[in-house]
């Protein structure tokens, strides 16, 4: 509880000092928590991040949109739900790409993957995996295809909800596939994040909140 209060205070303090035009954020339930907000804020404000692939529209999308008004960010958000994609798209300045899920074979596992990624172009130096909807095993496995296709050589990858067994399946495979990236778990609260990065960004492995 103390960590969560500390994170909340740090996030609100950073938003105020940066004078970010952030709408009210509600890090509750299945949404992003203050640990993820902290990582997004610190990574973008302290590092030369240019392009962000935001997988899963939501609270973090709104924060990224506010940061793009202060920093030179090119953001693409990918969302599976058409109504939610439209709703978030009306609140942000960047493109929200809608792609439904279809059965796919990704790295030898039958999962639900994105039907159409043709509107996503180029490489990204920050990829945030917070979708698609979680499953008990091989959760968000579709994110592996995105990372394979769109990660820049020098990059940072964040998996949210890294405390869950299904996400651990995906993170373990990700680590085996991308041995050039070094990662660690961040455990600020009930919901955790796993962050991996290339050597250019290795200092973020030492980010702390207490």
> Residue 88 is inside which H or E element, if any?
helix 82-89
Answer whether residue 101 shows pLDDT above 60: yes
Angle, vertex CA 28, rays to CA 86 and CA 186, nearest 5: 105
Indicate if the pLDDT at residue 156 is higher than 70. Answer: yes
Q: How large is the C-alpha radius of gyration of the chain? A: 16
Query: What is the model's pLDDT at position 32?
Result: 79
Distances (CA, A) of 174 to 1, 87, 107, 147, 201: 31, 31, 10, 9, 18
Residue 2 has pLDDT above 70, yes or no: no
In this predicted structure, what is the pLDDT of residue 6?
Answer: 83
Position 1 scores a pLDDT of 62
pTM of the model: 0.95
**What does the alpha-carbon distance between residue 117 and residue 190 come to, in Å, rounded to a whole number?**
32
| Domain positions in the chain | 2-206
Q: Which two tokens stand for residue 110?
A: 């039958």
Q: How confident is the model at residue 4 (pLDDT cuts 50, 70, 90)?
A: confident
% residues pLDDT > 70 (the chain): 95
- CA distance to 16, 112, 122, 128, 175, per residue, from 195 (Å): 25, 23, 22, 9, 11
Rounded Cα–Cα distance for residues 68 and 78 (Å): 17
What is the arithmetic mean of pLDDT over 139-164? 97
- Sequence-distant (6+) residues with CB within 8 A of 46 are none
Is residue 209 over pLDDT 70? no
Task: Give the count of beta carbons closer than 10 Å to the beta carbon of residue 93.
Answer: 10
Say if residue 25's pLDDT is above 90.
no
What does the pLDDT look like over 75-95, one tens digit per residue?
Answer: 999 999 999 999 999 999 999
Yes or no: is domain 2-206 CATH 3.40.50.150? yes
Residue/partner pairs of 171-176 with CB below 8 Å, 24 or more apart:
173/107, 173/141, 173/144, 174/143, 174/144, 174/147
20-24, 93-97, 126-130, 174-178: least confident range = 20-24
């Amino acid at each position: 509880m103390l960590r969560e209060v500390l994170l909340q205070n740090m996030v609100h303090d950073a938003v105020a000092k940066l004078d970010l035009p952030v709408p009210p954020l509600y890090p509750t339930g299945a949404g992003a928590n203050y640990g993820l907000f902290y990582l997004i804020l610190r990574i973008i404000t302290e590092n030369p991040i240019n392009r962000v692939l935001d997988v899963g529209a939501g609270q973090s999308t709104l924060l990224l949109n506010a940061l793009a008004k202060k920093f030179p960010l090119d953001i693409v958000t990918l969302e599976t739900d058409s109504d939610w994609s439209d709703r978030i798209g009306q609140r942000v300045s960047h493109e929200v790409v809608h792609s439904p899920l279809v059965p796919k074979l990704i790295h030898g596992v039958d999962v639900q993957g994105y039907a159409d990624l043709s509107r996503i172009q180029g490489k990204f130096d920050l990829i945030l995996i917070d979708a698609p909807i979680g499953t008990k095993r091989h959760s968000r496995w579709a994110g592996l295809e995105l990372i394979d296709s769109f990660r820049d050589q020098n990059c940072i990858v964040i998996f949210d909800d890294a405390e869950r067994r299904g996400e651990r399946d995906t993170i373990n495979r990700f680590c085996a596939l991308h041995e050039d990236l070094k990662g660690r778990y961040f455990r600020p609260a009930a919901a955790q994040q796993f962050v991996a990065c290339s050597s250019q960004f290795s200092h973020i492995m030492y980010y702390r909140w207490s």
